[in-house]
Amino acid sequence: MNRTVTLLSQHQLSSLVATGVDYCVMIACVSLFGLSPVVGTVLGALCGAVTSFTLGRRWVFDARNGNLRGQALRYAAVSALSLCGNVGGEWLLVRVGLHYVLARVIASTVVGIGWNFPMHRHFVFRPDDHKSAKPVADAG
């Protein structure tokens, strides 16, 4: 239980850092470089995703020995479904009368803890993946 709480805390902290990167890049693209908000949002989201993946791989789950390509593909799949959960939650909560910002905070927290964390822990950065990626000594 203690390990799960530690991992969840690290995961949530890394999510906050990634969100900060996302928003800072978006704002810089629009305010400093004159790009459209849509382009800024795309670039910010990409930078945030790279930050989240890197922190998850290196710091939260210590999965550096795992197959990078496999982890990246699994991360992309989990992120795509996470987007659907966030959009669906936002739609539902706004529909029942919540302010869109509060709805976003609630939806992203539920999706982050209920979907992203367990999927990152047990699927994207699964322990058996980085155990099997270690070199095997020759028996000869």
Q: Which amino acid is at 90?
A: E
Q: Calculate what percentage of the chain has a pLDDT beyond 70.
A: 92
Q: In a 10 Å sphere around its CB, with 0-12 CB exposed, 13-18 middle and 19+ buried, how is residue 99 labelled? A: exposed
Rounded CA Rg of the chain: 17
The predicted structure's pLDDT at residue 140: 43
Q: Is the pLDDT of residue 132 over 80?
A: no
Give me the residue spans of the domains in the chain: 1-60, 65-133
Per-residue pLDDT tens digits for 53-97 = 999 999 999 999 999 999 999 999 999 999 999 889 999 999 999
Residues 6+ apart with CB under 8 A from 75: 49, 53, 56, 120, 124
Residue 26 CB-half CA count within 13 A: 15
The predicted structure's pLDDT at residue 1: 81
Confidence of residue 130 (pLDDT cuts 50, 70, 90): low
Q: Which amino acid is at 102?
A: L
